[in-house]
A and B are shown apart, each in its own frame.
Chain A
Amino acid sequence: MKQQALTSAAHLAFYLKNYASAGGRSNQWASPIMHVIAMPTYPLRALFCGLAIMLALCCPTVAAEDATAKEIYEATQNLVFQIRVIDVASGDKYSIGSGFLVSDDGYLATNFHVVASFVYEPHKYRLEYELKDGGTGALSLLATDVVNDLALLVTGKSTPEFLPLATTPISKGDRIYSMGNPRDLGMTIIEGTYNGLVEESRLQKILFSGSLNPGMSGGPALNARGEVVGVNVSKAGEQISFLVPVSHLAKLIKDNASILVTRDHRSEITAALLAEQEMFFRAVLDSTPTTKPMGSIQVPGKLLESLNCWGHTVDEEYNHFQAIHQHCKSEDQIYVSDSVYVGDFYYDYELISTDELNRFQFYHLMESFFDHGAFSNISDKDLVTDIQCYSDVVRVNEANWKISTCLRGYREHEGLYDASMAMVSIDFNDIAAVIKMGATGVSAKNALAVFKHISGAVSWTR
């Protein structure tokens, strides 16, 4: 599959349609036309290219940003499909999403989470698309990118029209248009604003100030030239939605351009998750923990720019103790299946002191603080092993700590674990630090290395 060759026919058709709808005023598709021009190996396309150039040159120019949602919708509506996961037994749809044509080979892009149920239970489900005119067809799964929540499907039919992928950067504030089929209500276009990549994020994602809704997952987000700049993936609130940057889709297409064989998608998912966590935690481990004071202790600060850190102080009189609290965490989760999310990473410091409680009461209080956070990323207990913990008194930087570390393994993704560690200082009767950290979907080696990396950098200053 040739990325450049993909674009020509669709761009021309897109241009022609928009030209017509704009009453012959538009040349905003200059860029797509350039793509067409760049594809001289196809005689028919070259002919269309020439026609398009002529039209472009002879017509009044209209700025690209003047393209309306209506124009984009009319030009692309037939290239955006509803993707359906059909329950084989009942013959009815089990879940829906959106997808769009990205090649003349009939390749469709969508989200991984749209087709995940088929990936894990192919005997139970099958994939199907539905066109705007009601036509349907079968789909095959070609490739997945679980980390970026993308999947590539194949219709098995070649197509002269498809949506081109943007190759030029987009600027903050640019209008973009998201398409999809929200809640099975029919094909919809939503206008919003591109607000750059989310800065404090483990995964690359575009902040789209528009309102995506369920069923639009996997649909394209287009710039004013009708090029794909991202793939609808999630939302976080009113007018806060996220898109997968098109570069990840381009890579997925490129990596799988000529592969159409039966593949073990499950093991590929595991490998992708292992590779992603390896990259992320390598960066954490490569960071030199810059410690900062928190009351009487020195603790590592923000280990990566992608982490989000917060702090607060508890000093209510009725508590009879004071607490300083800081925590840093990764805001992202990776969808693996309806029952499994991974990608959590957090570390959390709490310094507790008192001048009112006696030593027995203080230790009682500290024991109430010493626990592990719940692993809430998996909802099916059959998917993981039992949690196993190991506790001991450990000397860290001339101070004694009670440390407890717990892990559980993934049954279907060998090598991945959920891990948690809690440590409490036990040398003083009126002040103590509680440090907790955890990660989900991490290799055991990385989990322990990161726990050691953080805990080894903690020291008392009193």
Chain B
Amino acid sequence: MDSLVVQTGGRSGRIAELARSREGRLSVGRGYGNDLVLTDHHVAPEQLIFCHEGEQWLMHVLDRANPVLLNNKRVRNDQVAVSSGDKVTVGRTRLSLYSDAHPVEKTRKLVLSNWLAMEGTSFVLPVIVLLGFCALDLVLSYFEGSTRLEWEEYAYGVLLSGVIIVGWAGIWAITGSIVRQQQHFGLQLIVASIISLSATLLSFVAAYLAYPFHSTTVTEIFEWGFLFVILVALFQLNLLIATNIRNTLAVAFALTALVSGIAFSFLHFGEEEDAFYLPLTSSTLVPPAFQLSRASTLDDYFSRVAREIIDSNEQN
């Protein structure tokens, strides 16, 4: 006969409270004479008894002051058969029932194990990475885009980026301390800095990739595509460090979709109103080095304008 194990409190990183049946019996309640004592005022002093009878375990409900749920369904009989993996809700407490032979999850490979061991060693590396990002962002932005040749306006922008990165790392450090009781602030800071640097570089790539195509759609696709990939990577690393979520990629993907959707809506909010009177076209030009395809003639161009815009307009 397998023993019955009743588990309460299953947060990862913490030791769960377990009670194992003795001689085919296990009692649950608020009273101190029970095998599993629950400090829940919504649970009766003698609430449940699990008994092994025949080839099965039965759950006897001793008190009905509050409903007892088995796998989220109310138990209406005084006794009911239970099996390994069932969930019982009593009062505000949730119990998991397992037999000795209940299969357990395959051992997970510890990702970032070396990095996770860095906790508390030093802030020097994270700070260097952060400052490196800020410096590179400043230089790239200035030489690529400063038409007023003013370092100062870019310095403020980079400073703001640095503050946002620190804040982001802080939020995930707090999350880690709650979920896993480990902050890993330095590691979160390194991750946020490196990802931000990648975003900066990819935004330049997106801008210059648009040149050969000189298309609004291509620019948008690259910008949003890169942003999406960057955000998925960021969220996945944040989740890996701060939580014990099994499928971090799926969660990161979902979070990115949510954030991107909100950002897209926010950025394009009111654009429809503007689009009524303001032509919104790509401002991307095509520098000499990127003029890969042959240019149209004026006649060809205006023929295509007539075909693409006027003909379609008249059809509508």
Contact = CB atoms under 8 A, between A and B. Distances in A.
A341 interface: no
A258 interface: no
A297 interface: no
A385 interface: yes
B296 A395 contact: yes
B288 A426 contact: yes
A222 B18 CA distance: 105
A361 B143 contact: yes
A402 to B, nearest CB: 5
Contacts of A357: 147, 149
B147 A426 contact: no
A364 B145 contact: yes
A392 B277 contact: no
B59 to A, nearest CB: 65
B144 interface: yes
A394 B287 CA distance: 13
B144 A361 contact: yes
Interface in A347-399: 356-368, 370-372, 374-376, 378, 381, 384-396
A318 B152 CA distance: 14
Contacts of B215: 391
A405 interface: yes
A370 B281 CA distance: 9
Contacts of A361: 143-147, 149
Contact of A367 (B283, B304, B316): B283
6 contacts: A357-B147, A388-B313, A389-B309, A390-B308, A448-B302, A448-B310
Interface in A178-204: none
B278 interface: yes
Nearest to B313: A409
Interface stretch (A55-63, A106-114, A449-457): A449-457
A360 B144 CA distance: 5
Contacts of A387: 275-276, 278-280
B143 A368 contact: no
Contacts of B66: none
A426 B248 CA distance: 46
B295 interface: yes
B304 A402 contact: no
Given A357-B147, A429-B288, A378 B277 contact: yes
B140 to A, nearest CB: 10
Given A386-B276, A394-B300, A407-B309, 10 more contacts: A319-B148, A320-B147, A360-B144, A388-B308, A390-B304, A391-B216, A396-B298, A409-B313, A428-B288, A448-B305
Contacts of B300: 394
A424 B147 CA distance: 18
A389 B279 contact: yes
A368 B283 contact: yes
Across the A-B interface, give the 4 residue pairs with the lowest CB-CB distance, nearest first.
A381-B276, A406-B279, A372-B279, A395-B295
B214 to A, nearest CB: 6
B265 to A, nearest CB: 20
A117 interface: no
Contacts of B198: none
B302 A321 contact: no
A417 B273 CA distance: 19
B282 interface: yes
A455 to B, nearest CB: 7
Given A364-B144, A405-B305, A420-B279, A394 B291 contact: no
B285 interface: yes
B149 A320 contact: yes
B312 interface: yes
Nearest to B149: A320
B263 interface: no
A358 B304 contact: no
Contacts of B214: 391-393, 402
B302 A392 contact: no
A400 interface: yes
B114 interface: no
